[in-house]
Amino acid sequence: MKTKFIFITGGVVSGLGKGISGASIGALLEGRGLHVSFMKLDPYINVDAGTMNPFQHGEVFVTEDGAETDLDLGHYERFTNAVLTRKNNFTTGQIYDSVIRKERAGEYLGSTIQVVPHIIDEMKEKVRESTEKADVAIVEIGGTAGDIESLPFLEAIRQLRHDYGRENTLFIHLTLIVYVGNGEMKTKPTQHSVGKLREIGIQPDILICRTKDPMPQEIKKKIAMFTNVETEAVINGIDVGSVYEVPLMFHQEGLDDKIVEYLNMWTGRPKLHEWAETVDRFRNPVAEVTIAFVGKYVQHEDAYESLNEALIHGGIANRLRVNLQYVDSEELEQGKISQFLEGADGILVAHGFGERGTEGKIEAVKYARINEVPFFGICLGMQMAVIEFARNVAQIPNASSGEITPDHSENVIDLMPEQEGVEGTGGTMRLGGYSAKLKKGTLIASIYESEDIVERHRHRYEVMNRFLPQLEKAGMVISGRHSERDLVETIELNDHPWFLGCQYHPELKSKPLKPHPLFASFIAASYSFRQSLQQAVASVEKD
Ligand code: GLN
C-alpha cells in the first residue's frame, strides 16, 4: 500500500493542541491495525530545537537516534508505537540549510534558487522521504494559518494533494469556538480561518473545533455550510480532564470513521480497550501521592513535558493520583527546605543546564537522603545527588561539577578529557540511545527485571571515575555503567528505601499504555512512604 497523508493545520490562535490531536489520530489508526508515522514541520529558522530556550519553546524532545526535536514528537511517541528519528522533524532553517548547501555544491546547475520551486520541492521531498514505510503519515504544520512563516509549508502540502490526489491526502484543520457574553458560541473565527486556508488553495476536509462544551447540531451545521465541509466532518474537540481521553473522545465523535472513509481505506473497528483501561485508571485512583518536583523551569510546565507525563504514567501503573508540587530550586537555596519539601511523599530532582539553582537541588537531595524520602534524580538531578553524597558522606568537602566550578580539583562531575577545549555548546553532548549494563542484585536491575537497557541521553558532563573508589567506599552503589566508554549511568544508596539517580532520561520512553518501570516503582515507593508515615501518625495518636 502506498503511504497516505493526513495534514494537520491550526487556525484562530496557537496552542490548540495540534500535537495531541495528531497523536490521538495516530492512536486511533493504530488501533485499527494501521502502521502510522509522524512528521512535524516547524516554521522557525533555528536548525533544530536544541538551542531553544525551554521557557519559550517547552522541552527539547530527544529521539532514539539523538536528534533534538520539538516536544510534539514526544506526544506522537507516547500515544503510539512509532519510533521517530531526526527525519521526523524539519524546520524552515533546516530546509533552507539543505537547499543552500546543494546550491553551493553546484547541484542546481546554475539556475536561480527560489522559494518556489526549490524550497517547496525540498519540503515535499523531506515529507516523502521520512514517511515512506507507513500506511498513514500524520504531518503537522506548526504555526497558525495566515502566518507569513508557515506559508511555504502550506504551499508544499497543497501541492502534495495535487500530486497524490484526494483519496491519498486529507486536510484536518483545528480551530477554536469562541464564547462571548453569556456563553454564546461564536463560529466566525473558525469561518475566517478556513477562509484564510482557502485563499492559499487548501480546502480542509475535516474540522476539529476546540470547545469547552459540545457544539449543538445547528452550530455544526452552520460551520459546515460556511466552510464547505460535511456536517459529520465537524468534530467536537472538547476540553477533557486528561490528554489521554482525547483518542476516546475523538472516536466517539466518529473522527476515525470519517478519516478512513475519506482516505478510502478498509480497516476493522479500532481496538481501544487499553485506552479505556488507562483512562479508567487515571480517572478512578484508589489513593494519591504528592511528589515534590524540584527544578529550575518550574513556572513553565511545558519545559518538563515528558517528565510530567512519565510521573502521571507512574500513577496510572499504580492506580494512584499523582499531585505534582513544583519547587523552584532557587527558593530552596534561601533555606526554605522544610517549607517546600515537608509533606512530599517522594522527591524528584529534574534535569537542567547551568549553575543557577544547583545548590538548591543539592539541598533537596540531602533532605531526601537524611529523611529517607524516596528520591529520584534525573540527569542533572543524579549529578547533584553524587555531589551531595561526596560532600556530606564521602568526605570530599568541596565536591562540585565542572558546569558550576570549571578547573576545580574536586569536580566529581566534569567534562571527559576529549570534550575539553571544544568550542561552543554544539556537538559535545551525549545524545540519544546508549546501552547500559546494570549490576546484578541492585534496586535498579530488579526494577527493570533486566541487566541490559538502552535509554536516551542529553548531557555533556559525566561522573569522574577517579572519585568512584571514595564514593563506593562511603556506600554509594554504582549500579549501571555504559561499558564501551566506562561511564556511570546509574547510582543508588543501599541504606535508603528508594534512592536512585540516572544520567539518562527514562521519561522519554514512558507511555500511558506502557508506564516506564522506574516511574512506576518510584510512585509505588512514594506511596509506601506515605502509608508508613500515616501509620506512624495513627500509632502516636493511639498512644
Ligand atoms: N547540565 C548537565 C550536563 O550537561 C545535565 C544535563 C541534563 O540534566 N539533561 O551534563
- Given the residues 379, 403, 482, 516, select the one marked as catalytic: 379
Domain spans, the chain? 4-277, 286-414+428-532
Whole-number pLDDT of residue 46:
82
**Coil, helix or strand at residue 407:** coil
Distance between Cα 347 and ligand 1 center (Å): 19
The residue whose CA is least distant from atom 5 of ligand 1 is 380
Q: Provide the pLDDT for residue 500.
A: 98
What is d(CA 137, CA 435) in angstroms, rounded to the nearest whole number?
30
**Shortest-distance atom of ligand 1 to CA 505:** 9
Q: Does the reported pTM lie above 0.85?
A: yes
Going from the Cα of 260 to the center of ligand 1, the distance in angstroms, rounded, reads 44
132 is catalytic: no
Residues whose CB is less than 8 angstroms from the CB of residue 536 and which lie 6 or more positions away in sequence, other chains included: none
Instruction: Tell me how far the alpha carbon of residue 62 lies from the centroid of ligand 1, in angstroms.
Output: 13
**The domains spanning 4-277 and 286-414+428-532 adopt the same CATH topology:** yes
- Residue 507 bears catalytic tag: yes
Cβ atoms 30, 39 nearer than 8 A: no
Task: List b or e across 381-405, with b for residues whose CB sees 16 or more CB atoms inside 10 angstroms.
Answer: bbbbbbbbbbbbbbebeebbbbbbe
Taking the C-alpha atoms of residue 127 and residue 39, their distance in angstroms, rounded to an integer, is 7
Pocket test for ligand 1, best of 329, 365, 403, 404 (most atoms within 8 A of CB): 403
For atom 8 of ligand 1, the residue with the nearest CA is 351
Q: Which residue has the cell 558546569?
A: 403
| Rounded distance between C-alpha atoms, residue 289 and residue 534, angstroms | 12
Active site residue 379: yes
Place of cell 528508594: 498
Q: Specify the CATH architecture of the domain 286-414+428-532.
A: 3-Layer(aba) Sandwich (3.40)
**pLDDT tens-place string over residues 89-129:** 999 999 999 999 999 998 988 889 999 999 999 999 999 98
Residue 47: strand, helix, or coil: coil
- What does the pLDDT read at residue 423? 53
Q: From first to last of the 543 residues of the chain, give the pLDDT tens digit.
A: 689 999 999 988 888 899 999 999 999 999 999 999 999 999 988 877 777 776 677 889 999 999 999 999 999 999 999 999 999 999 999 999 999 999 999 898 888 999 999 999 999 999 998 877 899 999 999 989 988 989 999 999 999 999 999 999 999 999 999 999 988 999 999 999 999 999 999 999 999 999 999 999 999 999 999 999 999 999 999 999 899 999 999 999 999 999 999 999 989 889 999 999 999 999 999 999 999 999 987 778 788 999 999 999 999 999 999 999 999 998 888 777 878 888 899 999 999 999 899 999 999 999 999 999 999 999 999 999 999 999 999 999 999 999 999 999 999 999 987 776 655 555 578 999 999 999 999 999 999 999 999 999 999 999 999 999 999 999 999 999 998 889 999 999 999 999 999 999 999 999 999 999 999 999 999 999 999 988 888 888 776
Which pLDDT value is given to residue 424?
53
Ligand 1 lining (C-beta closer than 6 Å)? 351-353, 379-380, 403, 458-461
Q: Which residues have a Cβ under 8 Å from the Cβ of 527 and sit 6 or more positions away?
A: 287, 289, 318, 320, 345
- The length of the chain, given as a count of residues: 543
CATH superfamily of 4-277: P-loop containing nucleotide triphosphate hydrolases (3.40.50.300)
Return the ligand 1 atom nearest residue 378 CA. Answer: 8
> For residue 488, which of 457, 507, 465 has the smallest C-alpha distance?
465
